[in-house]
Every structure is written in structure tokens, then in C-alpha cells.
Structure 1
Amino acid sequence: MATRKRTLHNTWHLGIKEFHSLLGDWTMLFLIVFMFTVSVYADARAKPESLHRASIAVVDEDQSQLSTRIIAALQPPQFIPPEHVALADIDKGMDAGLHTFVLDIPPNFQRDVLAGRAPALQLNVDATRQSQAQTGTGYIQNIVNDEIRAFVQRYRSTAVQPVQLVERAMFNPNLTESWFAAVTAIINNITLLGILLTGAALIREREHGTIEHLLVMPVTPFEIMLSKVWSMGVVVLIASSFSLQVVVKGVLGVVVPGSAVLFGAATLLYLFAAASIGVFMGTLARNMPQFGLMSILVLLPLQILSGALTPRESMPDVVSGLMSLTPTTHFVSLAQGVLFRGAGIDVVWPEFLMVAAIGTLFFALAHHRLRSTIGKMQS
């Protein structure tokens, strides 16, 4: 009992020391604040919507009720209000970059539609605007088809479809890209800072020479490691919770249906694993530049192949199988289930267990490596 009490006492005070060290490291403090405020906001706003305020012009040679109805449907937020241009000005406007799309409605278009002649519309697209050209073409085609179908139904009956597909988006009903990007940015930043802060704390001890002071104190490698894990984990947990509540929900206005408490518990458990990886990397690197280069090789696969940016189903089976051995993959699945779909503990408990199991394995591996490193330094 006395040994356990002393371990808790040493771990607590060593963790407090880590807070003081972090407060003196202005670079790390700036990184934490930047990653969970400006970076999250920039990721959400930098990614464009599927189609937003595309420039479109219309040549209305029909001047009919149907053509007016089609033009009225091409409105914000997907398009800016359509500009009426003459047929002779199509090439001039597109060459000048004034319009991404120009829709030409031919004469007698409404009459031919009602007569069942299937007239053709001409859509001119500036394909140099790659972000809007392909997506916008599909939007315009669907809008025109919907308006023609609704218009024709008033004049002649149409066959009733035997099956009707009704779409319901439970999270993010408008499929706003910034909603997904903001939450994904928090998940990725938790991984990044969970590893960097802990590894940097260990490297900082070595570079400042304070690791030698710890070696002459009655503390064990287990207590040194555990203090760094819990202190840096608390820092990232507080920063990520602030980012979710203030930046994502408050500033960006994202509606997150999931439980913030359950997400916080999952984050704390995952940080146990991420911090263990950071400690292990800190024992391998001799200085901060080496640690930075090593972090690139570790963080990029963890973030790109975890499922946060690319669905795991689209990956090769070998890659997907290897990534299932990392805690990041299970944390991403868990976080998306909680924040996007409002899943409870009864749904995500397998991911909780996997994160805990893999985290324990990495903690044991990092502890063994740290103890070996400290043993070499003492000898």
C-alpha cells in the first residue's frame, strides 16, 4: 500500500512538473492553441462545398413558361443568379472567364417538350475550373430534368413508379462539407498532438539535462512515463474539448448530435495509446530534429490510412489489416460513430476495448524501451 501511494505521489508531482515545463515552452503552447482553433476553422472553411456560387449564364431563345421555370431553379447557394446573355456573346463571356456554365435553351423548347419530341439543350462548360465543372454539370442536368418532369405532369399523366427512394441524412442533412472537415480536423489533431507533446516532453528532458536529475531521485521509469502520459493527455483533452464546444459548435455552427462526455472519455483513452507511441519515439530519437523527422513517417500513415480522410473499404486488404493494429483506426471509427451518428456506449464498446488493448500494448513496449534507455544512461 505504501509503495502504491508513493507511486501515485511521484506520478502526480512529476505530472505537475510537466505542466510547468509546457508553460515555459512558448512554441508548444502556440502549436496547441493554433491546431485547435485556427487550424480547425481553416480546415472547415478551406474545403469548398460540393457546388457553391458557381457562375452561370442563360440564353433564353424560347421565352416560355418552361424556360422561365428552369432559369428560376438555378439559384443560390449552388449558383449565383443567372445572367441573361445573347447567343452571340457565349464564346466572348466564356473566353473572358465570366461564366463557368452557359445554358442555351432553343426556340420552341416548351412546344417540343409537350409534343414529346425530346428537344436538346446545349450546356457550355468552362472545364478549366475543375472544382466546379464536373459537379456543376450534374447539378444542372438534375435541375433541368426535375423542372421538365414537374412541368409535364401538369399536362399529361405519367406512370407511377412502383418504388420510390426517399433519402434522409441523419447528420448534416445538407451534406455541408465544412461540418465533416471540422470534426475530422479535431480527430486528426488529437493524434498529432497526443504523440508530439509526449515525445517532445521526453526529448526536452534530455536536451535540458533534467533527465539526469530524475535518475538520482527515488522515481522509477514507470512513474516518469506515466506522468508524461497523464499530463499531456489532460492538456490535449482540454484543448480538444474547447475546440469542439467553442470553435466547431459555436463559431462554425456545426450541430453535433453525439455525446461530448462519451467522446471525451474515448479521447482520454486514446491519448493513453497515442502518448505511449510518443514516448517510444522519444526513446528512439536523440534530439528534437530527429524526433520531428520520425514523426512525419509515423503521423502521415496514421492520419491518411486511419479512415478519417479515406474510407477503409477503398483500401487494399493488406493495408486495412495492418491499420487495424493501430489505435488510431479504432479511435476514428469510435469518434465518427459518437459525433456523427450519436452512437452510445452499447454500439461503440468494441472500439473502446480495442483502443484500450492496443494502448496497453504500446504502453508496455514504450515502458520497456524507456527503462532500457535509462539503464544505459545510468551505466
Structure 2
Amino acid sequence: MNKPAHIFALALKELTSLRHDRVLLLFLAYAFSVAIYMPAAGSVIGVHHASVAIVDEDHSYLSRQLPAALLTPEFQAPVPLRYDQLDASMDSGRYTFIIDIPPHFQTDFNAGRSPTLQINVDATAMSQAFMGAGYIGRIFGRELLEYRTRDNDAVQLPITLVTHSLFNPNLDGGWFLAVIQIVNNITILAIILTGTALLREREHGTLDHLLVLPLTPFEIMLSKIGSNALVVVGCTWLSLEGIVRFALGVPLTGSVVLFLSATALYLFAANSLGIFLATLARSTPQFGLLAIPVIIPMLLLSGGSTPLESMPDWLQWVMQMSPSTHFVSLSTAILFRNAGFSLVWPNLLALTAIGSVFFGITLLRFRSSLSS
């Protein structure tokens, strides 16, 4: 048999072993379904459907116009509230925001006396309270400016700024979070699956059986990388189509084929890293301890959790050596911005170079661990 036949036979062995591992199959199903859907659908980054009540003590045109500017999906329709109900409503937590418009608000505003209105915020709803108060302030400021300039040509602004959000018009954080969650799960599984597969064979003595066969470390490594990459790429495609596009309704405008090709290239590097860690460990628990300080920085510093531009310059340079940094950039560019090969080839080239280096170093380490 030649090398391709050896690699194909070993890959079939890996897939057969995975097929009989029900716990691992259940974990794969969870990682690419529930673990994607729940964070993206249940975690709201920003203000969404916030409850608002209005205490209108002015009963003027302006006091009616301001609440009307609070629109869905950020805010619910404002509910009228009497002044004597304000404290009880805040104590009960029924509303996140209660806005108190004082008497003579429009009269004082027209007279240039800079009146104030009160926004009561239930700060127990932390994410919505902090951002929502800022939203309300900007919305009211815009409405008051339009009201003042409508009848006063002397203060008309020379220009009007209109903001258009590209690729995510409603700034829905769930869209981005769903894709990043897939990227993070790919990283975790790529390292864990190959590393534990190698250690399981060593602990069960299967690796010793392979060594007496006419097989090389290169063939053993490549079969493990290829079989695990095939499984993860298949699960990624099912998750993109079934969970992200269908269940969550995220419009993926880019080429899924190009993204899956980039995923396979990324898995080449990440799987090599997993095998390298497995050669350093002597048991599965030890491998888990080694994997944690490697996986966590790859997830947190790759640009998926926080923008890479917000990090110190030296850390940005260091993270360029991590394949996850380039994969995060590739994923968002392809799936959301419809970037083609002509735009993402530098990242693909970087993944190829990093993967080749990881594979070469891991192959040397794997050979030395087999001979020892």
C-alpha cells in the first residue's frame, strides 16, 4: 500500500472510533447546536425591548413628541403613568426607565431657560440601564434640536449627518455572536479532539500496535488531522445552515464554500497544535491542564471577544502568530461582508504558513515521543 492508502485507512479507523463514541457525538451535537443558539438568541448586547413609562406633568406638544421618539425594537411603547405611581413602579421593577417631564417644560424650553427632565433608571438591569440612558439622552437631544430649528432658520445646521450601519443595519449583536461562537467551538474541538484521540490510543495501547505496522508518524498525524477536520467541517456546515441561517435568521451573504475551505485550513493548524500538546502530556487530565492556557488566549485575544485594534501594539503583533486571529478576521469578512478570495488571500496565506510551521514542529516532536 502507498501513503495515500495508509492515510485513508487510518482516517476510516478514526471515523469508526468516533461513530461508536456516543458521549463525544453528543458533545459535538451540543457544541454546534444548543451552544450556538442559546448565547446568540438569549444574550442581548445593548438595548432591546426595554420597558418605559412616562410621567407627563406638562401635557404639551413637546411632552408628547419626546416619548413618541422612543421606537421599537430598542424600547417598548411608553406607558403613561401618574406622578404618585412613580416610586411604587420603580420599587416593583415593572419599568426599566421612568421619564418625568416637569410642568411648563415646553414653555421654559421656548424661553431658553434650559429646563431639565428626570430619567429614573432601574440599574438592576445593568446592560440595558447603562446603555439605555445614553440612548434616551441622544434621542431626546435630537428631538429637541429638531423642534428648535424647525421654526428658527437662524440656527439651522449647515449639514445633516445620517448614519448608515453596513452589514448589520439593526446592530443586532446576536448575528456576530452566533458566528464567533462557531469559531470558538471550532478552536476548542480542533485542539481537544485530536489531542484526546492520540492520548486515548496511547493509554489503550493502540498506538503501539500502529508502530509495528509499516506506517510512518507523518501518516498517523495526517490521518488524525484529516478525519477530525472532516467531522468538524461537516458539523460547521450543518450549524451554519440549520442554526445560524434558519433558526436565528442571520443573513449570511458570503460564500459558505470559501468559509468552509478556510475552516479546513485553520483546522490543519489547530489540529497540529492539539497533537503537539498531546505529545507533551502523559495523560488526558494533564492534557486538559495544558490545553486551558493555550485555548483561552486564542479565544479572548483573537479579535472575537474584543477588537484587536483595542489591544497594545506589542500584543497585536504577538497575536498575528496565532491562527485564530486570522480565522476570526476571515470568518466575519467572508460571511458578513461577502469578501472574496481576492480580499482574504493574505489571511489564507498566513494560515497556511502558520499551519505548516505547527505541523513541522509537531511532526518532529511526535517522532521523538514515539522513539523514546
Rounded to whole Å, the distance in 1 between the matches of 2:45 and 2:327 is: 26
Give the counterpart of 2:80 among 81, 84, 93: 84
Corresponding residue of 1:224: 220
- In the aligned structure 2, how far is the partner of 1:164 from the partner of 1:360? 52
Greater mean alpha carbon deviation, residues 298-307 or residues 85-94: 85-94
Match of 1:114 in 2: 110
Give how far 1:230 is off: 0.5
* Alpha-carbon distance between aligned partners in 2 of 1:96 and 1:125, rounded to the nearest angstrom: 13
The residue correspondences of 1:47-86 to structure 2 (distance < 5 A) are 47-86=43-82
Q: CA deviation at 1:291?
A: 1.4
Q: TM-score under structure 2 normalisation? A: 0.95
What is aligned with 1:168? Answer: 164
Moved more, 208-217 or 66-75: 66-75
Q: 2: CA distance between counterparts of 1:165 and 1:343?
A: 28
Which stretch shifts more, 251-260 or 106-115? Answer: 106-115
The SS at the match of 1:104 is: strand
User: Deviations 1:251-292 (Å, cap 9, x if unpaired)?
Assistant: 100011211111111111111001100111111112211112
1:215 aligned partner: 211
Query: Which range moves more in the overlay, 285-294 or 354-363?
Result: 285-294
Superposed counterparts of 1:146-165, under 5 Å: 146-157=142-153, 159-165=155-161
Structure 1 residue 18 corresponds to structure 2 residue 14:
yes
Code of the residue aligned with 1:51 in structure 2: it is: V
Aligned to 2:305: 309
Decide which of 233, 248, 256 is 1:237's aligned counterpart.
Answer: 233
Aligned equivalent of 1:326, options 322, 331, 335: 322
Match of 1:335 among 315, 328, 331: 331
Residues 227-376 of structure 1 aligned to structure 2 (within 5 Å): 227-376=223-372
Residue ranges of structure 1 left out of the alignment (5+ in a row): none
Q: Kindly tell me: are residues 76 and 256 of structure 1, through their superposed partners in 2, closer, same or farther at Cα, counting changes over 3 Å?
A: same
Secondary structure (helix, strand or coil) at the match of 2:262 reads helix
1:346 positional shift: 0.9
Deviation at 1:357, TM superposition (A): 0.4
Map 1:184-223 onto structure 2 (within 5 A): 184-223=180-219
2:133 matched residue in structure 1: 137
Deviation readout 1:164-201 (Å, 9 max, x if unpaired): 43322221110001001001111111111111111111
For 1:243 and 1:157, locate their aligned partners in 2 and report how far apart those are by CA, in whole Å: 56
Count of equivalent residues:
372
| Counterpart AA for 1:23 | R
The Cα of 1:153 is off from its aligned counterpart by 4.0
1:180 aligns with 2:176: yes
Q: C-alpha separation between the residues in 2 aligned to 1:315 and 1:53?
A: 32
Classify the secondary structure of the residue corresponding to 2:112. coil
C-alpha displacement at 1:158, in angstroms? Answer: 5.2
Letter in 2 for 1:345: F
Instruction: Report the Cα offset of residue 78 of structure 1.
Output: 1.9
CA distance in structure 2 between the partners assigned to 1:327 and 1:76 by the alignment? 40
Q: Over residues 125-180 of structure 1, what are the superposed CA-to-partner deviations in whole Å (9 max), with x where a residue is unaligned?
A: 22333212211111111222232233334433353433443322221110001001
Compute the RMSD of aligned alpha carbons. Answer: 1.6
**Aligned partner letter, 2:270:** A
